[in-house]
Amino acid sequence: MTQKIVLITGASSGIGRSTAKKFLEKDYIVYGAARTEAKLQYLNNYENGHYILMDITEAEMRENCINEIISREGRIDILINNAGYGAYGAVEEVPLEEVKRQFEVNLFGLSELTKLVIPKMRENKMGKIINISSIAGKIWTPLGGWYHASKFALEGLSDCLRNELKEFGIDVILIEPGAIETNWAKTAGENLMKTSGNGIYQKHAQRKASKYKEMYGDHGMAAEPAVVASAIIRAAESSHPKARYAVPTHAKLIIFFRWLLPDRVYDFFTNKFF
């Protein structure tokens, strides 16, 4: 069977890096994309590993990335949209420029890159587009409004895209991680304190930042990125993948309780926790 071609964005660390390694261990041809070359050079250690420098918000870099892979391999079988970050802070305090940047990375850049791979997948009558969302696309927490908004939008976009592309043999799949040991939490915490650590929301910001340290600390609930990578592999190799995969177990439980509880009760417990 011909080796499948995988493109992973945000492959420099965390979930993206772990996923790239798992695919390479299973003899896929993997292209990892990110902005920092030094953090992608681990791919040189694998015969089927390649990297491409790309800022997902830059149209020319997106086009160059896809064109380079197509010219070398003739196709892209699996696209894993993993690049993303959290712009945390109170809705009224996050600057509009940062809000736009959040959506450029988490939604618009992702959707534009996806549009570039669809024609070739449609021509081949097969392909998988795997979007890394979050349980943040199903729930909400104080001081996370713009990040949640970007992930809620990604969930809706992916659901529509799944139904638009299924007749062409293209699967669109959502992965919804919970707390994972990556740089995401550090970046989100820093953004939170930078934006809302000194104003009217200071007390709430300090409490949430402290809760993050607890959740993502040595004895917290955060799982290793390999847990998410394994779910991505399952989705990629399934002939009939599910629409969404929540991982790890605590993510499934949180989404279940959100579904079960009325909004006011959920609000009470969320505010109590954070």
Catalytic (active-site) positions:
147
Q: Tokens at residue 82, please?
A: 């993993």
Cα first-last separation, the chain: 50
CB atoms within 10 A of CB 160: 11
Helix (H, G, I), strand (E, B) or coil at 180: strand
Query: From CA 124, how far away is CA 188, in angstroms rounded?
Result: 39
159, amino acid identity: D
For the chain, the residue count is 274
Residue that the structure tokens 């990125």 belong to: 225
- 95, containing H or E segment: none
